[in-house]
Structure 1
Amino acid sequence: MNGVLLPPANLAVAYTPVAFRPAFTLLLQLDMRFADIVRKAREPMIAQIKLAWWRDAFATEPVLRPKGEPLLQSLGACGDLISPSALEDLVSAWELMLGEDEWAAQDVEAHAALRGRAIFGSYAAWSGEGCDVSSLSHRWAHDALSAEFPSKLSVPNNQPLPALPKGRKLRPLSILAMSVRKVTGFRLICHALTGW
């Protein structure tokens, strides 16, 4: 996994303000990397070691971090925009998904809360909008997990769809939310342009 984002994530990044575009891009790339670790895990212990390596690297002083990992080097270029707690939440979210043939509902819910808070919560804090995106982020993370691992989810999300944020500043979040609602192509681009 080289950090190349899927088209909906690239569209969301394109609508992200320049000031925190690198940090948002990096969070999405890390999320993809961790999903890939879980996807390819034949031995849960090996995947656990890989995620533990990331956790340790995040906790290490920037100048002492291992060299040669582009995503880790990109973290240093983001300054202090990405909080240590967001990185911890993201690793923890994916650790919950290791080792079971079918995921328990409580693990899926915990994953969605942590993953959503790491990505959507960080973005909302950077944007300064001061709105609560927790239900949107939780639904996005749950639906994204369902799309990424359809055979592992035993419980569909039957909760009502949360409203999308209308403001331009939060458009990247609504783009991501729409993309896991199976909205693609022209319809997703129209939403990006207009908010509708």
Structure 2
Amino acid sequence: MNAVLDLDPPTRLAIAYARSDIRSAFALLLQIDNRFADILRNSREPMIAQIKMAWWREAFASAAETRPKGEPLLQALNETGGRIPLSALEALASAWEHLLGHEQFSQEAIDTHSELRAEAIFKTYATWMGSMDDMHPIGRSWAFETLRMGFPERFADCTMPSAPLPKARALRPLSILTMSVRTGSGLRLILHALTGV
């Protein structure tokens, strides 16, 4: 999908390490997450942004054949054949909706946002892998750091505890995402992708 090219290189690296049968669904989740971040970033009027988010929620909840045509991400969603659970899509929408209308993000708003994004992306991926490991801690850490980097002007004095990376090879895409916001070194990230260290 061309929309993958809109994602940053570390995210594309994480997608490349995903198992082939769920790679497109994983990429789509990250693309939708990126689209929702853009809605927040470009919103001048919170009400307009809320209307856009409501449109997405309605599209997610609709049957594939009745979803609006002409939106590539919805077309891709139809092609995943239900691989992405509606609960994950709703959690992702809620994560970004929670920040609408906030000139400054409070600790509470960031905590809720990070938990919902961890639920939508990290827990969903772990479920696909059949992992019983709790991916919420690193998912929250990743969500916190990506939000801080994407919206530095809206961050107050907020903190998020770090969490250990998973060792399992099957969960390497999640550790790549998390490592990507912890290190500024591309070589360090590549080494981690190759070895898990």
What TM-score do you get using the length of structure 1 for normalisation?
A: 0.96
- Name 2:167's counterpart in structure 1: 166
Query: Sequence identity of aligned pairs in percent?
Result: 51
1:104 partnered with 2:106: yes
Q: Is the 8 A contact 2:144 2:160 kept in 1?
A: no
Shift of 1:158: 4.8
Match of 1:57 among 56, 59, 78: 59
Q: Deviations over 1:136-177 (max 9, x none)?
A: 111111111111111111133252x21100111000000000
Q: Is the 8 A contact 2:50 2:97 kept in 1?
A: yes
CA distance in 2, matches of 1:19, 1:2: 19
Q: Is the 8 A contact 1:90 1:118 kept in 2?
A: yes
Query: Which amino acid in the other structure matches residue 67 of structure 2?
Result: R
SS in 1 for 2:152: coil
Shift of 1:186: 0.8
CA distance in 1, matches of 2:132, 2:165: 15
Q: C-alpha root-mean-square deviation of aligned residues, in Å?
A: 1.3
Closer, same or farther in 2 for the Cα pair 1:50/1:158, shift >3 Å?
closer
What TM-score do you get using the length of structure 2 for normalisation?
A: 0.95
- Name 1:80's counterpart in structure 2: 82
SS in 1 for 2:153: coil
Query: Which amino acid in the other structure matches residue 92 of structure 1?
Result: S
Structure 1: give runs of 5+ residues left out of the alignment. Answer: none
Match of 2:149 among 147, 150, 171: 147
CA distance in 2, matches of 1:94, 1:158: 18
- Name 1:124's counterpart in structure 2: 126
Q: How does 1:4-15 map to 2 (within 5 A)?
A: 4-15=6-17
- Name 2:191's counterpart in structure 1: 190
Q: Deviations over 1:23-57 (max 9, x none)?
A: 00000000000000000011111111111110000
Match of 1:134 among 122, 133, 136: 136
Q: Is the 8 A contact 1:143 1:157 kept in 2?
A: no
Query: Which amino acid in the other structure matches residue 170 of structure 1?
Result: L
CA distance in 1, matches of 2:39, 2:196: 34
Structure 2: give runs of 5+ residues left out of the alignment. Answer: none
SS in 2 for 1:19: coil
CA distance in 2, matches of 1:156, 1:111: 13
SS in 2 for 1:143: helix
Q: Is the 8 A contact 2:28 2:76 kept in 1?
A: yes
Q: Is the 8 A contact 1:23 1:81 kept in 2?
A: yes
1:33 partnered with 2:35: yes
SS in 1 for 2:21: helix
Q: Deviations over 1:77-125 (max 9, x none)?
A: 1112110000000000000111121012111100000011100010000
Q: Is the 8 A contact 1:124 1:131 kept in 2?
A: yes
CA distance in 2, matches of 1:62, 1:55: 13
List structure 1 runs of 4+ shifted beyond 3 angstroms. none
Shift of 1:2: 4.5
CA distance in 1, matches of 2:33, 2:163: 22
